[in-house]
Every structure is written in C-alpha cells, then in structure tokens.
Amino acid sequence: MLGLIMNRQLTITSIMEHARKFHGDAEVVSVTADQPLHRYTYREAFARSARLANALARLGILQGERIGTLAWNDYRHLEVYFATSCAGFVCHTINPRLFPEQIEYIVEHAEDRWLFVDPAFVPLLEALKHRLGCVEGFVILGPAGAAAKTTLRNAVDYETLIAGEPDTFDWPELDENSACAMCYTSGTTGNPKGVVYSHRALVLHTYACLMPDVMSLSAREVVMPVVPMFHVNAWSIPYGAAAVGAKLVFPGPKMGDGETLQRLIEGEGVTVTAGVPTVWLALLTHLDRTGKQVPSLRRVIVGGSACPRTIMEEFEHEHGVHVHHAWGMTEMSPMGTFNSPSADFDTLSSEEQWAQRLRVGRPVYGVEVKIVDAAGKELPWDGVSFGALKVRGPWICAEYFRIGKGDAHDDEGWFETGDVATIDRRGYVAITDRTKDVIKSGGEWISSIDLENTAVAHPAVAEAAVIGAYHPRWDERPLLCVVLHPGEQLTREEMLAWFEGKVAKWWVPDDVVFVDGLPHTATGKLSKKDLRERMKDYRFP
Amino acid sequence: MLGLIMNRQLTITSIMEHARKFHGDAEVVSVTADQPLHRYTYREAFARSARLANALARLGILQGERIGTLAWNDYRHLEVYFATSCAGFVCHTINPRLFPEQIEYIVEHAEDRWLFVDPAFVPLLEALKHRLGCVEGFVILGPAGAAAKTTLRNAVDYETLIAGEPDTFDWPELDENSACAMCYTSGTTGNPKGVVYSHRALVLHTYACLMPDVMSLSAREVVMPVVPMFHVNAWSIPYGAAAVGAKLVFPGPKMGDGETLQRLIEGEGVTVTAGVPTVWLALLTHLDRTGKQVPSLRRVIVGGSACPRTIMEEFEHEHGVHVHHAWGMTEMSPMGTFNSPSADFDTLSSEEQWAQRLRVGRPVYGVEVKIVDAAGKELPWDGVSFGALKVRGPWICAEYFRIGKGDAHDDEGWFETGDVATIDRRGYVAITDRTKDVIKSGGEWISSIDLENTAVAHPAVAEAAVIGAYHPRWDERPLLCVVLHPGEQLTREEMLAWFEGKVAKWWVPDDVVFVDGLPHTATGKLSKKDLRERMKDYRFP
C-alpha cells in the first residue's frame, strides 16, 4: 500500500523559489575583485540568475550539460550556482588550487561546455587554453570590459553576457534524481574523480545541515562561508542560507585575510561562519595584533582538518565564540558528522567535555556510520577500538563519474571513507588516521597520526611524519621522520624516550630519521605517498 | 544525466535506528492511566517496539495492513507508532473524541485488523463491538491483567502481548513511498476522509519541522507534545524528538490538566511544548491561582486555532515564554506555516510586531502557498487581499483513501485548504475564514470570522456567529446571530452601531438575530452548517 501524497520533487529550484518569495529582502554581501563591498538582495540575485539561465539557453546548453566555474565566493558565483542547477544544467565547481594538469584533466573529463572564471584565474587558464578542447567559451566574472585583455578564445564578461536578458526564466520541472552539481576529489593518488550530486541529495543535505544541532541557520542569522564555493558547494551554506533567508556574506578573494574577515564580521553582523583551521588562525592573529573584536559572532564551524584546542580556547575565552567540529568529504555532499554538545554535556568534567569537543561529532540524521576491522567485522563503539570508517546515506556518492563504483564501495553499498576512526559510546566519531597511512603491525593497526601528534609535541620538533616501513617479522613497523626547529638538536634515543608513557609500548616507532624537510601536496598537505616513495629502500637497523 | 548518489530510502525506520544508536540514553517520560510517572530511554522504547513488531508478525499482520489506535500520548503509544510503521504496517490513529458512529465508520473504512486501546476508551468500543467486523482483536494499553474485565472479544493486554517476544526485529527495507500512517479528517460535512502518509512524507516533514525557525528541536531540548498523538502524529513531534535525541515528556490522559502540565514542566525541565489554545489557558489559570512557575519553559507552539493575544502576553510577560503560532491540516502532515520573527522584526513597532505574531506565520521550506479569488486568479501578497488558500508540497495529501482526489485538488495539483487567507509582503499568512463560511456579497467576499470577532468584543455578547443569508440583490448578505451574557440586554440597532468604524461599511451585517444558544460539533467547534440549516427560512426584513 502506497502513501497518498503529492509527488513533488526535491530540487534546488524549490530552494530558490522559496527564498525569492519569502526572503526576497534578505541581503547578500560580497567582496569581489572589482568591488570592495557589493550588496543586494536574494530577489535581485535570482532575477540575475534568471538572466543567466536565459543566456545559457541562448548559447544552446542542454539539460545535463556541464558548466564549469573557477571562482571565489561572491554573488556572481551564487548566481551561477542557482542558474545552472535550476535550469537543468550541472554546476561543475573546479578547485583553482589544483595543479594546472589536474584542472585540465577535470575540465576535459567533465566535458565542460563553458567556463566561468574569476579574473584572478584567467592567467592559469591562458596557459591551458589550447588544450581545453571541449570548452566553447569563457565567461570572465567581472564588469563589462573584464574580458577585453584575455587571450582566451571566445571570452565574454559576465555582465555583458546577461545584460540583455529578461529577469524571469521558465524554470523546468526537474526530476529530483537528475544531476545538479559536480565536484572532483583532489585525491592524493591517481586522477581526480568526479562526484555528481543530484537535486534530491543536496535538498536533503540542506535540510539536515539546517538542524539546530548542525549548522542551525535561520532568518535572523548572518552567515559567512569562508569555505570555498569551489569545494563541495561551500558545505551547502549557499543553499541552506537561501532556504531559511539568512543573510549571506561572501569574502571573495579575501578568504585567508584576517583583516577582511574581521571587517566583514563587525560590519555585517556575522553570527556564524565556517572554514578550515588556518583561516581562523589568521583571524585570531589579526584580532590579537589589533585588539579588534568580533562582537556579533557566536559560532565557528571548523572542518577540513582537526581544529587545535588552542584555537577553540582562544575563540571561546577571548571572544565568546563557540567552535564546532564537523567532518565530511566531497563524496558526502559533504556533511557526515557535526559536533554539538550531548544532552549530558553539562554533567561532564572539563576534560571529558574537551575530549568530546575535539571529536568530529555525531552523524547528522540521514548518515549511517560503522567502523570495521581488517576482516570487515564491526567494531564496538568504546572510544578506543579503531577501524575503517564506512558511511551510507541519501547524499553519499554511489559511484564516480565515468568510473563506476571502483573499490570505494563495499558489497552492501557502504562507502569506504578511507579514514580510520573511533566512535565513543555516545556516537561521537574521532578520525585517527587515513586507512592507507595506518601502520599494519602483525595484524594490528597503529595510528600514524597519534604518533605524529606525540612527536610534534616535543619542543625541538617542527614537523613529523610516521610511515609504515617493511619489517621481516611484523610486516610493517612505524618509522618516524622528523624535521627539527632550526638550531635544535635531538638524538634518536631522546626522541624515542619521549614516547614512553604517552603511547602503548608496542606503538613506539622502531627508528627515527632526521630530515631537512618533508614532501607536501599542491594543497599543502603532508604527502605520505611521496615520503613512502622516498623511503622505499629504508631498512630497520 | 542523473546524479550518482546512493539510493537510500527515507523511512521512519531510519529515524528509529538513528535515535537508537546516537540518542539511546535520552529519556521518554510518561503519565499513563496505570503509572503516575513512567520513565525509560529511547533504547528501551525501541527494544519494546521490536517486541511488538514480533508480536504483530506472529498475529499474521501483512505489509500495508492497518493497525488502529485509540490512545493518549504515552510511551506505549510511541512504541506502537514505531513498531507498526517500521515493520511495514500502517499506524492508523483514531480520534476518540469523535462521535461513536464516526469511529465505527473510520475503523471499518480503514479495515483496521487490530485496535490498540487505552483503558479509558474501552467502554466506548464495548458499545460498538458487534459492529467492528473487520477487527480481529483488541490490545488494551495497560499492564498485565488490564484486559480481564472487558467484554471486547479477543482482548489482550499490551504487556502480555509483547512479554515473550525478542528485543530485536528484522526491520524490512521499505520503499519510501509506502504507507506508514493514516489519520482521518473530522470534516464538518459528510464522512471523515482518510489521509495516508508515506514514509517519505513524514521524514521530509520531520526535517522541515526541526529547522531553527520551526520547532527547533535538538538533543538538549525537552519537548512535551500536548497535541494528541491521535491527531496528525502529534504534529510530528515523536519523530522529530527521536531524530535529534530530545527528551520526550508525555502527559497521557492529563492533557488538559494545568496542574499536571506544570508539574511535568518543572519536574522534567520541559523547554518547549505544543498544543491548542485551551490547553494553555488551563495552564496559565493554574499558574495564576497557585503562583507556581514554569522556569525551564522557553517556547510554546500553538496551533489548531488562533491564540488570543492575551494568552501570548501573559506567557511572555509573566513567564518569559515565547509563543509561536503554527498552522496546518491533517492533509498537510500537518505543518504548513510557522511563525518565527522576520529578519527585520526588531525594527518594527510594537503594534507591527504583534500584527506579525498574530498571523500563522510563513510556509516552512517545502510548502508552497497561493491565494486566489473566485475566478482562480492569484491575489497579491499585500496583507489585505483575501482569497482561497491553496498549498502544494511533498508532505501534502494527493488524494483520500478509497475516495480519490474529489474536489479538494485543482487541475494543477494544488490542494484546496478550504481556508480563506491573506498573505503580507513578507509572506506571513493570516487565516481569515473558511471558504464555505465566507459571505459572497455581489461577487465580493466578506469574512465571517472578522465580523464575529468584532461582535464578541462587545461586553454584552457571549458568543456570535455570522452566516450568509439569501439576498435578492447581492446573492448573500451577512446575518449576525448573537448569544448575550446572562442578564445582558442589547437592541438590534445598538449591536449594528457597534460595527461602525470597526469594519468596512459594506461589511456591516444586514440584520441581527438574538438566540439562546448556537449549535456545536462533537469537538466543540461552532457548527455553521447546522446554523445555516436552522436559519434556512430566514429572510431579511
């Protein structure tokens, strides 16, 4: 027996239409390359999205075809988001920080028909222009004349493109399972892989992210996404803010600039913001140096990597701002877990509270999680047992574009995150390592990250990496590679003695190699793949 | 091109499983007929739901078959909710306040296989037992022995039914469009009509109701639904509370008892509650008389009918509690609109703020609304133009059980609410009348409710009703029927003079009839249908 309910499809269009009708007066404020502070309303944003949709239709873009963007967070990027998805095209956001050859691969693999490009990224594309054969033309995200000097073929500036178009568009009724957006993972191995989001996935993800124990957005919040719109839809904030009518503040190209962030927070009354830890370090450093304040700010959402406790404490004690950890992946739209206090939080000791808050939080309703051992057996949620983290849910990637499932999905349809995690008895997840970085010692796992954190806590150590090196008896044993602070000295024995009492005895690395520097990826992450390659001939003494 | 996302179904089972895993320790506290204060956790609740699902499977209930309930809000009813829906059966909640013949009609029309009945409602069913041919047996929602004295055939008490069953059940993977619950409308004309909710509808509705500008439930809230679970799933609070792990407090048979409500709020730390205005009048009267407090309470959600401003002011000024209007229908799962402050609320004058707060609010994201005139033309959102209110959305009824669409849906699939409304420029809806009660005077509409509210504001008037009476020139003109307070006197001319300056001149009723009493329905509402019948031979002088 079926329910007798209207068959209304979950589409990004429904978010846009709701915002236009009920929150048309809410503001969108942007810093852009050409304007220090642009300001308009959702009503104007969506009128311009309609003009863009008309322009794209005029260019002959068909349902399901990809439109690429290389752009910062600002109002024009927002217009491209809604115009493309709601017209039935696919908004393909591209990370401009990738290597040029990766960008080229991604554009060609997605077969982007047009690229919308911030002026800052034009030189990057000019170097590639002869190789982006699928791209018919380039729209420069700037004022009239912005495309004048580029050598990119068939280039037009955004304002000229949409200038003559009507303010309304006959938005199609879309199937909720149709593609609305696309983002490639910046994997450390092999080529980037394309995740294709459906309208349904992003609407459900939006509802989930809006919950009070998640992002908790409402009409009276002012939200500033410092997480880039080229990375997993800025954690869905553009959709969520529109759905509830929250004022949106976009820092444009000034994402990492503490001065701009403080000025926007104070000037626009930002109440909640989201981004990676390095951004918050820049903001706090600026506040510290200038004595300026962030009086309206109440919440900071941190993802991308673990937020150091010192940053959380400084926000809380100096500025009355609560920091929430979150965790997700490109393959998860991205929200997986969010850290809000448990019901019994107030009854916990201060250290128990911190232990909870430093975890990445609990799965938001909609996401299922489990941790399994090497044999696939589910592990207990005791906060100690750690295993491969698997996830399942209606906004999680089922396969990659033109690749298929590959080995990222198990036979029951769970997605293998590639992360190693513990889950405590309340369901709070802590990410302890990457599956490929964990050291498999005699069938047991050792967390490389725990060992690295212990090593860098030594005052002489600037950076540390632990990899599994071949061992004739245990298959692998931990090898610690250390960069010392300039002028510091440390012996192998002193370094190893440092671990005593801090980790289990059998976790202590078997050897230490002192190096001048460690290899990093294009996005600044430690590249253990390159380190393993560099150390492949190493043998324990 | 389709999105490449997991095909995970939206089911009530996913709510139950999420609550069990991540909020297993959260409490459910109930007043029941046999226990003054029962207390356990979600974990125990769902273990008992599993036992019940096993028992129902043993009884041979098949997928899609209906299980009826006549029960108050308590933990056993909660267990029945989840056990039936998650096992693939349909939880059919029945309003025990209906006339016995309506209950009989509903049970037979839904073909309920078993009925779960609170001890208080057993006599009601004993009077019907020979006529409920489809019902195989009756489960009395009480302790072992509770079924001993009833004359109902094949009766068993709840605790005995589930006693020997295992704590786990192999919950089926359900299609999200399958039926999960059912509720009949208590229409004032004709037989009640059955609304069949799908799993998908109630999951989406749950997400929408959880939003910060709607019910805003989270793990640290304590929620007491005083709206009955036999009426549109208690506005979805049992699902929403479970999804986020909010502590649930059920008043059982004591829904209208101010003393019990106060005791539960103070004793259990209730932060948010929901119900009809009469309940809050009972609570406030009790607080006023005893001087007792509701220190933890922060929000009251009012629906069912308009909350008088005096109640809102007393809650706010005396107790620091914010009152939110909400509006919905059985056909809408039920949430349609919710009143949270607009972004510019603080900039409004006090009277503008009250004008906004006395409206039923804005549609929650997911619900579309429009108002149309008699010719079906859409009317402006100016706060004054009023027309028939139509709604559309993924949790709104598409047709009635075994009846079809009927005339409640227009050709474009919009549901005709039967309400007349205005919408202001910010999108706040005000319900001004029922479509069938509005007076159609020369092609223009006059709101009967506005006239009634004006009439009862006169100190001599106890109750008033306005109906359209036949008029040779204008088709209909307003006729005011008035009940005076005992001992009061008022002339026709004095009554009509009262309207001067309070409503448009052409709205003033053409005549006044003083009566001893007005007809009411079983649920206590004014029955204009009966009044029109009684006055059908009336002619204007």
Q: Which helix (H) or strand (E) holds A357?
A: helix A350-357
DSSP letter string over B243-304? HHT-EEEE-BTTTT-HHHHHHHHHHHT--EEEE-HHHHHHHHHHHHHH----TT--EEEE-S
Token pair belonging to A137: 């033309």
Domain for residue A303, yes or no?
A: no
Higher pLDDT, B190 or A212: A212
Domain for residue B516, yes or no?
A: yes
- For B355-390, the pLDDT digits (tens) are 999 999 999 999 999 999 988 999 999 999 999 999
β-partners of residue A70 are A117
Domain for residue B473, yes or no?
A: yes
Instruction: Indicate whether B404 pLDDT > 90.
Output: no
Catalytic residue among B292, B436, B440, B529: B440
β-partners of residue A370 are A390
Please check whether residues B426 and B442 belong to one and the same domain: no
Q: What angle do CA B439, B440, B444 make, to 5 degrees?
A: 115
Token pair belonging to B121: 């409602």
Contact between chains at B207 and A212 (C-beta distance less than 8 A):
no
Higher pLDDT, B503 or A177: A177
Range of the domain at B76: 12-26+41-199
To the nearest whole angstrom, how far is the Cα of A175 from the nearest Cα of chain B? 9
Give me the torsion for CA of B184, B189, B190, B192, rounded to 10°: 10
| Gap between the Cα atoms of A343 and A338, Å rounded | 15
Token pair belonging to A238: 């553009």
- CB neighbours of residue B236 within 10 Å: 28
What's the whole-number mean pLDDT along residues B466-483?
93
Catalytic residue among B185, B271, B432, B454: B185
Instruction: Indicate whether B541 pLDDT > 90.
Output: no
Please check whether residues B352 and B376 belong to one and the same domain: yes
DSSP letter string over B346-403? GGS-HHHHHHHHTS-BEEPTT-EEEEE-TTSPBPP-SSS--EEEEEE-TTSBSSBTTT
B chain contacts of residue A396, beta-carbon cutoff 8 Å: 5-6, 8
| Gap between the Cα atoms of A237 and A243, Å rounded | 10
| Gap between the Cα atoms of A447 and A180, Å rounded | 38
Please check whether residues A134 and A164 belong to one and the same domain: yes
| Gap between the Cα atoms of A203 and A9, Å rounded | 10
- Has B285 been annotated as catalytic? no
Cβ–Cβ under 8 Å, residues B219 and A341: yes
Closest alpha carbon within chain A to B89: A1
Q: Is the bond preceding A519 in cis, omega lying within 30 degrees of 0? A: no
pLDDT reported for residue A189:
64
- Has A235 been annotated as catalytic? no
Domain for residue A49, yes or no?
A: yes
| Gap between the Cα atoms of B198 and B182, Å rounded | 9
Please check whether residues A84 and A70 belong to one and the same domain: yes
Task: Kindly state the percentage of chain B with pLDDT values over 90.
Answer: 84
- Number of domains composing chain A: 3
pLDDT reported for residue A409:
86
- CB neighbours of residue B350 within 10 Å: 7
Q: End-to-end CA distance of chain A: give it in Å, rounded.
A: 70
SS3 of residue B146 by DSSP: coil
Contact between chains at B179 and A2 (C-beta distance less than 8 A):
yes
A chain contacts of residue B399, beta-carbon cutoff 8 Å: 4
Residue B193 — very low, low, confident or very high, per pLDDT cuts 50/70/90? very high
Share the mean pLDDT of chain B: 94
pLDDT reported for residue B123:
94
Please check whether residues A114 and A18 belong to one and the same domain: yes
B chain contacts of residue A2, beta-carbon cutoff 8 Å: 175, 177-179, 196, 198
- For B100-148, the pLDDT digits (tens) are 999 999 999 999 999 999 999 999 999 987 789 899 999 999 999 999 9
Please check whether residues A515 and A428 belong to one and the same domain: no
- CB neighbours of residue A496 within 10 Å: 15
Contact between chains at A199 and B3 (C-beta distance less than 8 A):
yes
Select from B199, B227, B247 the last residue of a domain.
B199
ipTM of the complex: 0.93
- With DSSP H G I counted as helix, E B as strand and the rest as coil, what are the percentages for chain A, rounded to 5? 30, 25, 45
Select from A153, A172, A199 the last residue of a domain.
A199
Please check whether residues B154 and B129 belong to one and the same domain: yes
Whether A365 and chain B come into contact, CB under 8 Å, resolves to yes
Cβ–Cβ under 8 Å, residues B194 and B182: yes
SS3 of residue A421 by DSSP: strand
A chain contacts of residue B221, beta-carbon cutoff 8 Å: 212
Please check whether residues A62 and A172 belong to one and the same domain: yes
Please check whether residues A78 and A164 belong to one and the same domain: yes
Please check whether residues B471 and B430 belong to one and the same domain: no
- With DSSP H G I counted as helix, E B as strand and the rest as coil, what are the percentages for chain B, rounded to 5? 30, 25, 45
Cα Rg for chain A, rounded, in angstroms? 24
Nearest to A209 by CA among A75, A326, A345, A302: A326
Contact between chains at A397 and B4 (C-beta distance less than 8 A):
yes
Residue B187 — very low, low, confident or very high, per pLDDT cuts 50/70/90? low
pLDDT reported for residue A522:
67
B chain contacts of residue A342, beta-carbon cutoff 8 Å: 219
| Gap between the Cα atoms of A76 and A448, Å rounded | 42
Contact between chains at B427 and A177 (C-beta distance less than 8 A):
no
| Gap between the Cα atoms of B238 and B355, Å rounded | 31
| Helix residue spans in A87-211 (DSSP H) | 100-110, 122-126, 158-163, 199-210
Q: Give the CATH number for residue A457.
A: 3.30.300.30
From first to last of its 541 residues, what are the pLDDT tens digits of chain A?
A: 999 999 999 999 999 999 999 999 999 999 998 899 999 999 999 999 999 999 999 999 999 999 999 999 999 999 999 999 999 999 999 999 888 999 999 999 999 999 999 999 999 999 987 789 899 999 999 999 999 989 999 999 999 999 999 999 999 999 999 999 999 997 666 789 999 999 999 999 999 999 999 999 999 999 999 999 999 999 999 999 999 999 999 999 999 899 999 999 999 999 999 999 989 999 999 999 999 999 999 999 999 888 889 999 999 999 999 999 999 999 999 999 999 999 999 999 999 999 999 999 999 999 999 999 988 999 999 999 999 999 999 999 999 999 987 778 888 899 999 999 999 999 999 998 888 898 988 878 898 988 998 999 999 999 999 999 999 998 999 999 999 999 999 999 999 999 999 998 999 999 999 999 999 876 677 888 899 999 999 999 8
Q: What is the pTM of this model?
A: 0.94
Nearest to B268 by CA among B206, B210, B225: B225
B chain contacts of residue A195, beta-carbon cutoff 8 Å: 4
What is the number of helices (H) and of strands (E) in chain B? 15, 25
Q: Which phi and psi (to 5°) does residue A122 adopt?
A: -60, -45
- Has A280 been annotated as catalytic? no
Select from B141, B164, B199 the last residue of a domain.
B199
Q: What residue type is assigned to position A14 of the chain?
A: S
Q: Give the CATH number for residue A408.
A: 2.30.38.10
Contact between chains at B244 and A212 (C-beta distance less than 8 A):
yes
To the nearest whole angstrom, how far is the Cα of B22 from the nearest Cα of chain A? 5
Domain for residue B223, yes or no?
A: no
Whether B378 and chain A come into contact, CB under 8 Å, resolves to no
Q: End-to-end CA distance of chain B: give it in Å, rounded.
A: 70
Contact between chains at B340 and A218 (C-beta distance less than 8 A):
yes
Q: What residue type is assigned to position B14 of the chain?
A: S
Q: Give the CATH number for residue A53.
A: 3.40.50.12780
Residue where the block lists tokens 């509270």: A353
DSSP letter string over B310-331? HHHHHHHHHH--EEEEEEE-GG
Please check whether residues A491 and A468 belong to one and the same domain: yes
β-partners of residue B193 are B185
- Has A491 been annotated as catalytic? no
Please check whether residues B390 and B529 belong to one and the same domain: no
- CB neighbours of residue A429 within 10 Å: 25
Cβ–Cβ under 8 Å, residues A37 and A70: no
Q: Which helix (H) or strand (E) holds A56?
A: helix A42-58
DSSP letter string over B499-533? TTTTS-GGGS-SEEEE-S---B-TTS-B-HHHHHH
Domain for residue A295, yes or no?
A: no
Closest alpha carbon within chain B to A206: B207
| Gap between the Cα atoms of B481 and B21, Å rounded | 58
Domain for residue A211, yes or no?
A: no
- For B274-321, the pLDDT digits (tens) are 999 989 999 999 999 999 999 999 999 999 888 889 999 999 999 999
Higher pLDDT, B462 or A265: A265
The least confident of B97-101, B183-187, B399-403 is B183-187
Domain for residue B251, yes or no?
A: no
